[in-house]
Every structure is written in C-alpha cells, then in structure tokens.
Structure 1
Amino acid sequence: MELDSIDFILSHFRSPTAGFPRKMMTKSSNGLISINSKGEILQRCREADYKECLINAYPEILELNGMLIQSPNLILIDLDLSLCTSCVYPIRKLDYLLKQTLRQIKKDINGQPTVLWTGNGYHIYLPVQIPILDNEFEFSKERFQNLFSLNNRYYEYYMSEVFMQFAEKYLIGGKSDLLHMLRYTNCMVRIPDTYNMDSLNKGLSLEKSQVKILQEWDGNIMDIKPLIQEFKIWLAKQ
C-alpha cells in the first residue's frame, strides 16, 4: 500500500475545517488515535503491517462556538457477511444485496459510489451534497423531542447522525446491521490494500483478507435531496 490508496480514500472527505486532525485505528494502535497528515496515516499503516487500518470519514473538529459545522456528507453503507448468517450461500446473498443497493442508489440519487471488498463483505461510500440538518429549522430537535428523549436510542445524537443511519438503512432496504449505529465519531472507512483482521483470524489468506476497490466513484458529489424527503416522511412517523 502506498499514498495512492490513502489519497483515494481522502478524496471522498469534505470538511469546512482542515482535513486533520481526524481519528484512525490499526491493529497496533490500541484503539483510536489522532493523526495529522497523510504521511502519518502511511506510517501508522506500516507499523501495523497494513492490518486493520481504518480512518474516520469525519474530522475531529465538528463544532464551532457550540454549533455543528460538519454536514453528514459521506454516507457509509456496510454490507457485512453477518447479515447472511442464516443463508445457505452467504456470499451469493451478499452479492445480491450489493446489486440491489447499487440499483437503489442509481434510481434515487443517480450516483456511482465507491465499492470496496472489505475482506468480510462490502463497504459503499457515497460523497453527497447535503446541508447541516441540525441548523435547519424543519429538522430542529425541538420539533422532534420524543426522538431525542432520554430513553430513546437517539439521545445525545445530532439530527445529522440520525440521517446517516436512516440513509444507510433506506438504501439497503432495511437490512442493515442493527449494531451499526453510525455517528460522526465512529464512521470508520477502510483503506484499500490493507488487511481485515477478522478475516485473517478466521484463517483466510492475505489475498482473501485484503481490502480491494471494486468500483470507484465517478468524482461527482451526489445530490441526496430525494432521500431528505424520505427522511422527512420517516421523522413524521416517529
């Protein structure tokens, strides 16, 4: 793996502040660590023998003067083999889910996202054009107090984070991993040409455990307005 793989992933990210610092993790990092440059990303990957290398799609600086300044402009869809544990042919089922999801993305937002083989399934990365929902009156928390109540799963979430989860679930037809609760702080994407430790621990080879680019996004930021309308409908039912 060289800087090209890192440049490719970083090309999906947009922030009103500098691109760094942001969090990443590797096999040898003992959890999340702050990184401040592309060179540091490469160094950390090398130190971990390129194993379990992930980077956050969002920077550490999310607020300015108490106001959210980062829009949810990268949608991560995780199609993991855990979705197919009861399937006779799990890979075949996962391939079907991938095709259906890509069709849905094409139909709803006319987009061509990046698709990675993660060593244990597929990641889909959608760079999108979207406002900061929390700063829009129609999405203010005051209008949806039940959704953000103390006993609700979205307590202490940003509205934009609720949208991240909605978008993933909507685009894959409600078949997302219930434990995959995306937020700005845990939106971790894999770096191509690194290795998935879960796969290696299952005894798979380096080749089968390698993160690979199956489809590159076309460089066009996707207009996600149709999904915002669906999100409004969903919110009204909560």
Structure 2
Amino acid sequence: MAHPQHDTVLVADDHGLYRSGFGFLLRDRMGFRSVIEAATFDAALDRLAETPNVELALFDLAMPGISGPEGLSIVKETYPGIRVAIVSGSEERNDVVKAVAMGLNGFVPKSLADDEIVGALRDILDGRVFVPRFMTVGGNSAMSAPSKPQNAESSGSKGDPSGGATYKSISPRQRDVLECVRRGLSNKEIARELDIAEGTVKIHLAALFSHFGARNRTELATRS
C-alpha cells in the first residue's frame, strides 16, 4: 500500500539513537522525503528558520533549552503553517493539558507502539489534535480543537529576581538574547548581531518572558 508523500519533518530530541530510529519510522512508514534533526532547542529553532517546506515539528520535553509546553506556543505562532507536537517520555496529565492549552497539535507519548505513533502523527497531519488515550473518556484520542493559547507574558512567575540557578537554566542562545536585551537592542538588531532570524528572536524572548515571569523588556533585564 502506497503511503502519502510528505516533504520535511523536524525531530528535536537530545537522544541521537532515538532521533535515528524515529527518522527511519517517519521515512519508511509516513513517506517523509526529508528528516532534519536537532539535539537542542536552540538548534531546532535554527533548523526551522533555515529549512523550507517543514510540515511537522516534533519536540521532546526533556531537550536542553526547552521550557515545557509553554515554550512551544510561540513556535506555533511564528510558524503557523507547521504542525507542532510533543513526543515525550512524560505521561504527566498536566503536561498534556498544557500542550493542548498552548495550541499545540498533539502530545504523543514515546511509550506508544510504532503503529500507534504512526496513527497519532497521521491524525496530526490531517488537522486533528492528538492526545493520549488515558486523557479521554471512552478511548477517543483525537480532539477536535485546542483551547485558546495562553499568552507567554501572562504566565506565572518562574524566575528568581536575583538570577543564580534560574539564569543558568536557560539555553546559551537565550543568554545571548538576554544580554542583547540588557543592552537595549531591538529584535531586528538582535537578529543581525546573533545572525539568526527575527522570528527566532521572538521565540527566545517569549521563552525568557515566561521563564523569568517578566511582562516587558525592562522587567526582563532587571529580574534576570
């Protein structure tokens, strides 16, 4: 039986063996022509900015630089044509609820069998929102619509105004963006200085606002 052909998928996961195995599944079972890989959140954003025709982006929650489902909502907003989903070892109900609330296209546990993962990803590519069976009543795993995404700037404060371990927990690229904010640079100037896309700057800023519980650039510069 011929599989429908898809163009490009991003697999963002810090485990190389998993990326390789998952990439084979995406090519062999789902007909993706190209699989691009990233081991960190920063690298994943770089790949998205430089790669055309990405249809699906899959992120692991434990990957370095990611701040949970909240950190992916702005990725979805920046790339509205790409379906963004979590493929994670986590089976915490709260993570699933957050993923749907952030407007993501699905949450796929790594514990699922290959056939179930393929089915979940096909649901996502067909425009449905996939959640694990344990989250639904009666075993219906495809939700019709997500809740309204939460604004990253309205998230509860996660930061420590004194910095310390909180500053250390952000990614290297996010630290670079933060230093540029402290210098008063605009998004366009940050993009030029760091040689990244302006959309990528916006994603990093949203993650920083959420992480430090800041509502604007001034608060971000002082709280961090």
- TM-score for both structures, normalised by structure 1: 0.25
More helix, by proportion: 2
Greater length-normalized contact order (CA 8 Å, ≥ 6 residues apart):
1
- TM-score for both structures, normalised by structure 2: 0.26
